[in-house]
Amino acid sequence: GNSVTQMEGPVTLSEEAFLTINCTYTATGYPSLFWYVQYPGEGLQLLLKATKADDKGSNKGFEATYRKETTSFHLEKGSVQVSDSAVYFCALRGSSASKIIFGSGTRLSIRP
Amino acid sequence: DGGITQSPKYLFRKEGQNVTLSCEQNLNHDAMYWYRQDPGQGLRLIYYSQIVNDFQKGDIAEGYSVSREKKESFPLTVTSAQKNPTAFYLCASSRPAAGTGTDTQYFGPGTRLTVL
């Protein structure tokens, strides 16, 4: 079945550091891929998405590229800020499914 | 503004009591979902509904029940049969887009349920 594996946290970085959070997936066909962000005490917000191979999703300085050859969708940001501290979830939706499969989440903490 | 509302934000329940969590959306989405999130863990799907008057069990449906009498509303009842109900509950909705793989789920702010 479909599954998502993302790097375990917590990840702690200094402000202005480069961020990578790894995400790999297993799926048949051509799934859509998502990154969601959850700030403390809140629901999830869509950060970015990509719907086909080689697509790059981007938002608020974050980027992720849909790599079918490596079944990956790694999240990157060139210079993180304290306000980026949150939990990040990688997710996929199969091409014929209505359910989204979420990874276990990666907690990110940014030091001033 | 369009969005998803969940109420209440915090809910306390005594053991043995049923409790109902509200979820309302005005996005005109056909599909709605309930997830449970435990501390430090990801989301687990409880129930989902693709159209009015129809719903399916997710991965952890035992001890929960839902109804979908209106497109806008998808209440979740946590019954006394749920042995460990203390958790953060998230409701989501999406357009139907079945077969296209492109619909995005939008989430409410969540309800934190604590059993006393």
The half-sphere exposure of A36 on its side-chain side, counting CA atoms within 13 A, is 23
Asked whether the predicted pLDDT for residue A100 surpasses 90, the reply is: no
CA distance B31 to B8: 22
* Residues pairing with A72 in the sheet: A24, A67
Q: Which two tokens stand for residue B57?
A: 């069990």
In terms of Cα–Cα distance, which of B113, B76, B110 is closest to B4?
Answer: B110
CA distance A104 to B72: 29
Chain A, nearest residue to B42 by Cα: A104
Chain A, nearest residue to B51 by Cα: A98
Interface mutation target, options A44, A104, A108, chain B, most CBs of B under 10 Å: A44
Mean pLDDT, rounded, of chain A: 93
* pLDDT, tens digit, 9 for 90 and up, residues B45-95: 999 998 899 999 999 999 999 999 999 999 999 998 888 999 999 999 988
Contact list, A95 vs chain B (CB under 8 Å)? 99-101
- State the pLDDT confidence band at A97, using cuts at 50, 70 and 90: low
10 Å Cβ neighbour count for A68?
13
* pLDDT, tens digit, 9 for 90 and up, residues B11-29: 999 988 999 999 999 999 9
CA distance B76 to B96: 20
**pLDDT of amino acid A6:** 94
Distance from CA of B49 to the nearest CA of A (A): 10
* pLDDT, tens digit, 9 for 90 and up, residues A47-78: 999 999 999 999 999 999 999 999 999 999 99
Residues in A 64-93 with any Cβ partner in B closer than 8 A: 89, 93
Interface touch A43/B102, C-beta < 8 Å: no
Residue that has been written with the tokens 């550091």 in this structure:
A17
Contact list, B108 vs chain A (CB under 8 Å)? 43
